[in-house]
Structure 1
Amino acid sequence: MILGIDVGGTHTDAALIDSGRIRKTAKVATNPGHVVESLSGIASEVLKGEPLENLQRIVLSTTLSTNAIVQNKVDPVGLMVISGPGLPPSYISTAENTHFLSGYVNHRGIETAPIDPVAVTRISDDFRKRGLNHAGIIGKFSTRNPIQELQIEKIVSSGMKHVSLGHRMSGHLNFPRRVATTYLNEAIWELYSSFVKQVVDFFRTMGVSVPIYILKADGGTFNIEQSVEFPVYTILSGPAASIMGILSMTENSGEDAIALDIGGTTTDIALFADGVPLLEPFGVTMEGHKTLIRGLRSKPLGIGGDSRVRYEGGQLLIGPQREGPAAAFGGPCPTPTDAMIHLGLTDIGDPSKAEKALQGVADAMGCTVQKAAEAIFEGSCQIIARHVRAVIEEINNKPVYTIHELLEGKRISPKILYIIGGPAKPMSTRLGQLLECPVHIPPHPEIANAVGAALARTTAELTILADTERGTMTIGEEGISKKLPPRFSKGDAIEAGRELLKERALRMGAREEDLEIEVIEDQEFNMVRDFYLAGKNIRVKLQVKPGLIAGFSTGELS
């Protein structure tokens, strides 16, 4: 058995999967102030009476990290940046408490200027005096050689609760993105580590000792206890869960598609190219922070089933605020869900409460409740359709990346519309008409995110730089350097990368049968000295391909 739990902003969903079938599901309201209570409550409900010895794994997806950043409920972080020559500090998007240090490691990983330990100690003391307990240390080319980040960490770590190092965030070189990624990682570290401890303690108290995973932005998982060092990887975990849910419960048509997850607060818009989800290959953006976190491409829209509806200044306004559940469930204001209940599109909640809430909007509009409900429903569908078209247009003006490859010259032209979430069924027909696509709703649209989390395999990536002139090979994400054997080639780098990535993925909780490794970048440059070939600069990047765990294929789950 596999347990998947999605902790969303409005609801927490769970799915228990056994022998290729969904054995049991549950849905409860999320308590934003006590997320772990929602999670533990639903887990207890789903696992009650089940033989825990048959449980194989637990996978979570959560909006915790995303919401903390969006709502600015983060810890202040002191940043120490070793920027070196070339890039002015003003170009780098930084946090408030940022200091630029002397020192430099060049693009080949050679230390050309040392750090100043006295200056580092002075800045560290200043951080402590001002109550800063979290620090981030970032060097421009630290992925080529992390020595200076490690030297600074030794000086400052004793006085800090935790320190994040830039070279550990990603193997990519983009320096401003590395600064932003390191900052966000440290800013949410304390909140996230507390969440993980509570989750692990709860399941262990239940007597559950199976591996626990958490979903990342790229649609892959990693062991929840290892995730404590990289909480930033879990941003946009929720949208990734919805995409993986659609993959697990729909047959791959091989066509371009639209994927909508319509929740209570937001609607997430994603696209598939040739049946494969799109990817943000250089990193997702969170609240203006451009990161190095690879993630499935999705666009949140501030409209959902529980969005607040009002009529002001001659206009019908829907969202983006959510004041609580729909009026039909005791909420404080009318919502699109109330409109759908009144129109007979769904039979949930208390219709009399829905009608009473809609009456105020109807009075303001000078029409009947029926007409007001129709306008709310149509307006909601129109808003979603308009934003979907905008997302398609935006993507078609840029290179198209999928989780597997760059599709040169590809233009997205959707032929199918997938919809999941609570309002999926009542809104599907009209959205299909507006977007001119046949609609497919998976078997369990209301808990698809939990299913997607449950069945996602562990992913990992690895970046190798081999400098044959110096005789060194650097593994960026691991922060280690190795000596090269004679006559080292690009093929040797790829082979070494496969073995190293396999080891890394297994440490992150991957299973042998899920290790589908692919090369996503391989480059080789000649280095010339005095008109003679001095060596080669070899760059290789590999990944464990995102997808479903072994034993599950797209569309097979029922």
Structure 2
Amino acid sequence: MTELTTANSNQIYRIGIDVGGTNTDAALLDSNLHCVHKVKVHTTTDVNEGIVEAVRLLLQESGVNGSDIRYAMLGTTHCTNAIVERKHLGRVGLIRIGAPATTAVPPLAGWDPSLRAVIGPHSYIASGGYEYDGRTIANLDEEEIAELCRRMSGEVDAVAVCGVFAPVNREQEKRVGEIVREVLGSDMPVTYSSEIGSIGLLERENASVLNAALLQVIAGVVRGFKEALDGFGIHAQLYICQNDGTLMKSEYALRYPILTIACGPTNSIRGAAHLSGLSDALVVDIGGTTTDIGVLVQGFPRQSSAAVEIGGIRTNFRMPDILSIGLGGGTIVRLDDAGSVTVGPDSVGYELMTRGLIFGGDTMTTTDVAVKLGRAVWPGTNADTVDEAACGKADAVMQQSLEDAIDRMKTSADPVDVILVGGGSLLVPETLAGASRIIRPDNYDAANAIGAALGEVSGESERIYSLDDWSYDDVIRDAKESAINEATAAGANPETVQIVSVEDIPIAYLPGNALLVKVKAAGKL
């Protein structure tokens, strides 16, 4: 635990909570973003119970009054787990605006049958769509849309609308949404693909359907989080962590739950930047089960440029560029009869303190290795029963796998700074091939919760422009304004919003001097 500062009634505090597969971490930060206190509890089957316990311990041990906490941030695996486990997802009606241009590939093509069964049978292709520059391919048939909605009546919990090149021109999508609500009721949730994914139709459609299916999940998360805080007299503005390392208001998260997918590693990356003072480095986050490696660029996580699979479904909305390997503090070490050692990829997870050898258990883990080799000290444990020769072999395997993973994430052969965070980072030696420096900052074991609490809010714009119709300067200005508006809508203070990155890519395969422009803006709460 961190050394406690004296609770100051005039101080305004914020809580950051990060729910991982093994542990739930919570950190209390003051108005200067200094970590006042941190706690770590086991993630429970009902994750809300773990959140409640983390908040209880945080307040009890820090002595801070709940009424002095004004902001509360949550990074959670709820949505990821719902997709992977096929649980708690809503039934979704899908209307693709794309006939006759897109009928060759049906909606939800390539989806796992178990996930399709959860989503339901209401997936349709209707007339409409746009060219890359916003010109109409085919007009909407509004009566056709109304008839499709009548077929869905009573059998869907949300509707996803996806139009060809909708990120360029959203008019048809918005009109379909209006018809959906006219037929199915004004409270029917509608997800627009133009607000979720990138240009590619099928991947954007998939992401939109998943987003619509998660609306009930995120509503339960926000409700449970609010109830947990209210129980301790904390009446704070709630924020949910996004997967680009920034925050969104809980109201915004209720519309875009898919943006929480993979927020855990990005919280650690943002926390690592804050704790180390570095804005460009590799971040190695070692938890109880896995090691996540990401790249810090100008203080934010590097985004993936490739399509990403979530629960076996190919999508193209923004995702962090993260490499995960099966190495954590609870990873199982095995020694065979020939004397060879294998490490993982399975883990004892939260059972480490009952199953690990140093705790009197019967399973050799990587934590046993670190303690036996003197790399870590764990009071009250006994490493006498741990085989030192096996530990040496296991350590070589662990180090090699880390060095290989770091090498895969680097963009050049030059050594890079490596920031170690996460409770499992005690596994790592003082030097690694490919690392110019290894930095293990103070409070490294709570970097994820600290990253969750930091409080930057972002917005993005991604659109194709035709330079036949726009000047380059006007294109960039328009894209920046759009990104700033998105950041403000997500909860950023308009006076603090700044442009974080601008990327423009000529698209040679489209006519009309087509230019894809991506802009990211971010600001303080």
State the TM bucket, normalised to the shorter chain. 0.7 to 0.9
Give the 3 Å change call, closer, same or farther, for CA 273–5 of structure 1 in structure 2.
closer
| TM-score, structure 2 as length reference | 0.80
AA of the residue aligned to 1:232? I
Tell me if structure 2 keeps the 8 A contact 1:11–1:27.
Answer: yes
Alpha-carbon displacement from aligned partner over 1:195-214 (angstroms, at most 9, x marks no partner) = 11111232234333332212
AA of the residue aligned to 1:258? L
User: Is 2:246 the counterpart of 1:220?
Assistant: yes
Tell me if structure 1 keeps the 8 A contact 2:329–2:366.
Answer: yes
Moved more, 180-189 or 109-118: 109-118
- For residue 388 of structure 1, give the secondary structure of its aligned residue in structure 2: helix
Query: 2:128 maps to which residue?
Result: 104
Aligned-partner Cα distance in 2 for 1:513–1:147: 30
1:63 to 77, 91, 100: 77
Moved more, 211-220 or 338-347: 338-347
| TM-score, structure 1 as length reference | 0.76
Q: How does 1:183-202 map to 2 (within 5 A)?
A: 183-202=209-228
Aligned-partner Cα distance in 2 for 1:71–1:308: 24
AA of the residue aligned to 2:56? S
Alpha-carbon displacement from aligned partner over 1:485-542 (angstroms, at most 9, x marks no partner) = xxx85545555555554443223111245311256246899xxxxxxxxx99887553
AA of the residue aligned to 2:376? T
Alpha-carbon displacement from aligned partner over 1:421-474 (angstroms, at most 9, x marks no partner) = 112234232xx234454311011111011111111400002356778999xxxx
Tell me if structure 2 keeps the 8 A contact 1:78–1:132.
Answer: yes
User: Is 2:521 the counterpart of 1:544?
Assistant: yes
2:371 to 321, 336, 341: 341
2:398 to 369, 372, 380: 380
Q: How does 1:456-467 map to 2 (within 5 A)?
A: 456-463=455-462
AA of the residue aligned to 1:428? P
Aligned-partner Cα distance in 2 for 1:306–1:349: 17
Tell me if structure 2 keeps the 8 A contact 1:273–1:412.
Answer: no
User: Is 2:343 the counterpart of 1:318?
Assistant: yes
| Structure 2: unaligned runs, 5 residues or longer | 1-12
Q: Percent identity?
A: 26
Aligned-partner Cα distance in 2 for 1:89–1:460: 32
Tell me if structure 1 keeps the 8 A contact 2:279–2:297.
Answer: no
AA of the residue aligned to 2:191? S
2:173 to 145, 149, 152: 149
**How much has 1:118 moved relative to structure 2?**
6.1
Aligned-partner Cα distance in 2 for 1:136–1:62: 24
Query: 2:194 maps to which residue?
Result: 167
- For residue 423 of structure 2, give the secondary structure of its aligned residue in structure 1: coil
CA RMSD of aligned residues (A): 3.6
Tell me if structure 2 keeps the 8 A contact 1:94–1:180.
Answer: no
- For residue 27 of structure 1, give the secondary structure of its aligned residue in structure 2: strand
Query: 1:42 maps to which residue?
Result: 54
Q: How many residues align?
A: 487
Q: How does 1:240-279 map to 2 (within 5 A)?
A: 240-252=266-278, 257-272=281-296, 277-279=301-303
Aligned-partner Cα distance in 1 for 2:78–2:394: 31
Give the 3 Å change call, closer, same or farther, for CA 111–455 of structure 1 in structure 2.
same
Alpha-carbon displacement from aligned partner over 1:262-307 (angstroms, at most 9, x marks no partner) = 1001100123468874222466443443433323321111221112
Tell me if structure 2 keeps the 8 A contact 1:93–1:180.
Answer: no
Aligned-partner Cα distance in 2 for 1:66–1:513: 34
Moved more, 85-94 or 227-236: 85-94
Tell me if structure 1 keeps the 8 A contact 2:241–2:452.
Answer: yes
- For residue 229 of structure 1, give the secondary structure of its aligned residue in structure 2: coil
Q: How does 1:127-526 map to 2 (within 5 A)?
A: 132-154=156-178, 156=180, 158=184, 162-170=189-197, 172-252=198-278, 257-272=281-296, 277-281=301-305, 284-311=308-335, 316-324=341-349, 325-326=351-352, 327-328=355-356, 333-348=363-378, 351-352=381-382, 369-392=387-410, 396=411, 411=412, 413-429=414-430, 432-463=431-462, 491-492=473-474, 494-495=476-477, 498-499=480-481, 501-517=483-499, 520-521=502-503
Tell me if structure 2 keeps the 8 A contact 1:102–1:113.
Answer: no
| Structure 1: unaligned runs, 5 residues or longer | 359-368, 397-410, 471-487, 526-534, 551-558
Moved more, 285-294 or 7-16: 285-294
**How much has 1:219 moved relative to structure 2?**
1.1
AA of the residue aligned to 2:105? P
Alpha-carbon displacement from aligned partner over 1:231-277 (angstroms, at most 9, x marks no partner) = 110111001011101110113376xx432101001100123468874
